[in-house]
Amino acid sequence: MKIGLQFAMPAEFHALPGAKDIEPFQTVSGVPFYHIAPDVIACAGGIGKVNAAMACEILCLRFGADMVINAGVAGCMTDLPTGALVVPSDYVQHDMDTSAIGDAPGFVSTVNRLEFPTWKPERCIEILRGMGVSATTGRAATGDWFATGTDRARWIRDAFRPTLMEMEGCAIAQVCCRNDTPFVALKSVSDHLFKDGQVEEYFDFGQALENLGKVLLPFALALQKETLS
């Protein structure tokens, strides 16, 4: 089974041990793709929903990914500590809004849904626990906005009740939905929206990357075995 491991930023990909020494085997539409293990292909597709959707479609259609794992850092709406690992249970797209014509905020037409569930999040938590890794689950909200503790963020918190805020996951979930491809996400808390000094905290996300990088490939390989069995 082929796993597509998708990041937004090269720094997130480079958190994998030895990743800085791996050369891409192919570049498609400006996105480099890397073999990091048998039947595991990784890419850093870029920041934001369009970049994320494009890279995920390439993983699904060009490279035949049977499962896509989105990994990276994310802002936190709660008091989880920096570096805490979260397996999102589902995604919403907070900046999709056709409420003027009667839809609920976040409703995505064409696929006609508001929530995009991930693949067996509780089982993913169990797999991580079996690796000696503590993780929690919760909703993640995606949008093309570096979220800060403003009135807009408070509206998103009240409307969608997310644990995490980030910029790619729901786009990847939507592409996987349309390709009938199982989707998993693993995120590491980098910053806190309603904390003083949030931006400075974000730029000091070494601990978040370290916590993510050391467990991600073993987690992906465990999922590979899980879905093959």
pLDDT tens profile 164-200: 999 999 999 999 999 999 999 999 999 999 999 998 9
Residue 80 placed within a domain: yes
21 catalytic per annotation: no
Residue carrying structure tokens 């006609």 = 112
pLDDT category at 229 given cuts 50, 70, 90 is low
Q: Structural domain of residue 34, as residue ranges?
A: 3-198
Q: What is the DSSP string of 4-50?
A: EEEESSHHHHTTSTTGGGPPPSEEETTEEEEEEETTEEEEE--SSHH
Residue type at 96? M
Whole-number pLDDT of residue 8? 98
**161/148 Cα distance (integer angstroms):** 16
- Site of tokens 């990091």: 36
Is 88 buried (19+), middle (13-18) or exposed (0-12) by CB count in 10 A? buried
Q: Looking at the domain assignment, is residue 26 inside a domain?
A: yes
Residue 227 lies in a domain: no
With respect to residue 208, please indicate whether it lies within any of the assigned structural domains: no
Known catalytic residue: 12? yes
Residue 228: inside a domain: no
Query: Of the given ranges (105-119, 157-171, 182-196, 197-211), which has the lowest mean pLDDT?
Result: 197-211
* Number of domains into which the chain is organized: 1
- CA–CA separation, 11 and 202 (whole Å): 13
Helix (H) / strand (E) element for 184: namely strand 183-192
In a domain, 214, yes or no: no
CATH number where 111 lies: 3.40.50.1580
% of the chain at pLDDT higher than 90 = 95
Tens-place pLDDT, residues 59-89: 999 999 999 999 999 999 999 999 999 999 9
- Does the residue 31 lie in any domain? yes
Q: Which of 90, 166, 168, 191 is catalytic?
A: 191
Does residue 71 sit within a domain? yes
Query: How far is the C-alpha of 76 from the C-alpha of 79, rounded, in Å?
Result: 7
Cα–Cα distances in angstroms (integers) from residue 185 to residues 74, 139, 207, in the given order: 11, 11, 19
Indicate yes or no: pTM above 0.85.
yes
- Annotated active-site residue in 12, 90, 166, 168: 12
Whether residue 131 contacts residue 216, with contact meaning beta carbons closer than 8 Å, is answered with: no
